[in-house]
Amino acid sequence: MSKLRRRNLLRGLGVGLVAAPFVDLLLRPRRAAAAGVARRLVVFFSPNGTVPARWTPEGGPGSLSFPTGSILEPLAPVAEHLTVVAGLDFFGADNHEGGMAAMLTNQGSLADVSAGMSVDQYIAKELKADTRFTSLELGVQTSAWGGSTQTRMSYAGPGAFVTPDDNPAQVYTRLFGDFVGGDAEAMKLMARRQRVVDLLVDEARDLRGQLGAEERPKLDAHLEALAQVEKGLSGVVGCAVPDAPAAVNALDNGAFPEVGAAQLDLLTLALACDMTRVASIQFSHTVSPTVLSWLGQSEGHHSLSHIDDSNVAGVDQFVAAERWFAEQFRGLIERLAMIPEPDGDGTLLDNTLVVWAKEMGDSRAHVCTGVPFVLAGGAGGYLPSGGRLLQFPGVSHGRLLVSICQAMGLSNDTFGNATYGAGPLEGLRA
């Protein structure tokens, strides 16, 4: 990340730059994360499988290294924060659509513990975090084809797509629109709104004691609505209002890197300001037509993903594209690592679980076997530091989804289709 981008991000977070009265007004006590439990979850997605022979790093449970020219080599500077998971299979799934649908759901139904939700949405629901947004879904050119199994990875239930926002300007307005105008103005505006809400809450609580049993549930619902308003008012916790992202056509293929960088910045700000504890960023979608023209490429990513080993130059182009996505994942890790944990030791990365997911294994074979995952962050102590490669040949990725849930403090022993296996991945946690 450039020094300029780093300064802009830190300015937006208000690290050492926010006026004390603004901090005093906005800062609210937060519970420290329990030992061995992550406070936050971030899911990062890039499409169209990979080339296993060029992806898999070297090492084992206590070591990690990346061959020169390999897809994950750009992650070498952050290797100490990584757990690379290899060999997992999506049971009962195949090809692009099948992989996309199963990736975060393990093909759950209403009868399963997860009720057909994706792991990010299930965790967001179960956490019941006192944050402005239950979860935040950001995208980079995910919706040009509309919402379908090919273009969506998050589910609120069977067939219920959760749509990512592809426009950084819209995301900025959603996060900070109520607070633009400078710290002093934001402070005054929030103080006025907070006084009104406090008055309404006090009056409602006084009235509750005068109501009968039949009327109290209605008032309780009103109090819950006021609580949601308070969450909105406290959304910029200890943070200055950042500059709006530069205007850009979010659908322009050439703007893909700029949109991605802006979305990663906004995601990081939302986590640092405790607006949400669960977030995702989806770079395009399966069967992605994106042309990585900024790398000098002229063929779409999906087309490159089908080139077989006999076309060495073509495979090298696909590997170059995959390395670019690895660089974006590294950028997310670096953003989280530079920000101190607001109410404890370490950094945001130390208490966050970051998951890089893909919907297929070998892209040329269209299979959902040997699907790669990369985990990053300390997850509050759930994952050890030092960097490692773990192999789970033939094991259901549903067990990784269970591990993700348990890393977030949940106790479920299955996720998605329970017949595909139970329990977390052995040897994953510290």
The DSSP result for 358-380, as a single string, is: -S-SBTTTT--SSEEEEEES-GG
Lowest mean pLDDT among 124-133, 152-161, 336-345, 397-406: 336-345
Bridge partners, 376 (sequence order) = 82, 354
Give the predicted TM-score (pTM) of the model.
0.83
CATH number for region 3-176+244-417: 3.40.720
Query: What is the band of 122 on the pLDDT scale with cuts at 50, 70, 90?
Result: very high
Residues 391, 87: contact at Cβ < 8 Å?
yes
Q: Note the pLDDT tens digit of each residue in 249-290.
A: 999 999 999 999 999 999 999 999 999 999 999 999 999 999
Q: Strand 352-357 relative to strand 278-283: parallel, antiparallel, unpaired?
A: unpaired
CA distance 180 to 357: 34
What average pLDDT does the structure give for the chain?
86
Q: Is 296 strand, coil or helix?
A: coil
Dihedral pair phi/psi, residue 125, rounded to 5°? -65, -45
Q: Note the pLDDT tens digit of each residue in 364-392.
A: 999 999 999 999 999 999 999 899 999 99
Angle at 131 between CA 128 and CA 135, to 5 degrees: 75
CA distance 137 to 352: 16
Q: Note the pLDDT tens digit of each residue in 176-212.
A: 887 765 455 554 545 554 555 566 666 667 777 777 7
Residues 53, 72: contact at Cβ < 8 Å?
no
Kindly state the average pLDDT of the residues 89-117. 97
pLDDT value of position 107: 98
Q: How far is CA 124 from CA 133, 156, 234, in A?
A: 9, 10, 19
Cβ neighbours for 70, distance < 8 A, ≥ 6 positions apart: 54, 55, 56, 57, 319
